[in-house]
A = this chain, B = another copy of it.
Amino acid sequence: MQQTLELSSEVLAQRLADSGLRATPQREMIYEMVLKKRDHPTADEVYARVRADMPGISLATVYNCLETLVQCDLVRAVHFERGPTRYCPNLRPHAHFHDEQSGTIHDVNLTPELLAQIRAVLPPGYDARTVEVTFRGKASPLTSSEHRVAGSE
């Protein structure tokens, strides 16, 4: 598990610089927070977590920073159902399993092969930048704790 071989703050600073943006304490804090707990928080949840360490931050800034992180390809915004946008720090190809009973979300790895097969259904002329796969159903309690990767509170 090489998580901090490259410091996330450096990755952030680099990506921001690439887009002509500045590294600010708010952006760093929010990026750290989203990476730390690898679930799918809403802006409000991020706001709550960040305020513990940075009490003066505003909700507008949380929205701004999350949007910036999305622009820099450091997190992804997802919309599982109607309701608040959720932010996903997992950048590897994966599907989302939405447990309808608990409301939790589990990441499920996708192989490049399967992704290629899915893309193959597109008629010529369709150029997909991204592919999203979402399951909805129930995960039986016994296995859900073992396989659980991430979920909302």
Contacts and interface: CB of A to CB of B under 8 A. Distances in A.
Nearest to A127: B137
A6 B135 CA distance: 31
Q: How many copies of this chain?
A: 2
Contacts of A108: 121-123, 126
A79 B97 CA distance: 15
Interface in A17-73: none
Given A79-B82, A117-B117, A147 B134 contact: no
Interface residues of A, number: 42
Given A79-B81, A100-B129, A136-B128, A114 B118 contact: yes
Contacts of A79: 79-82
Contact of A133 (B82, B125, B132): B132
Given A80-B79, A85-B82, A128 B135 contact: yes
Given A82-B79, A109-B121, A138 B127 contact: yes
Contacts of A129: 100, 136-138
List of 4 A-B pairs having minimum Cβ-Cβ separation, nearest first: A125-B143, A128-B135, A129-B137, A128-B137
Interface of A: 77, 79-82, 85, 95, 97, 100, 106, 108-111, 114, 117-119, 121-140, 142-144, 147
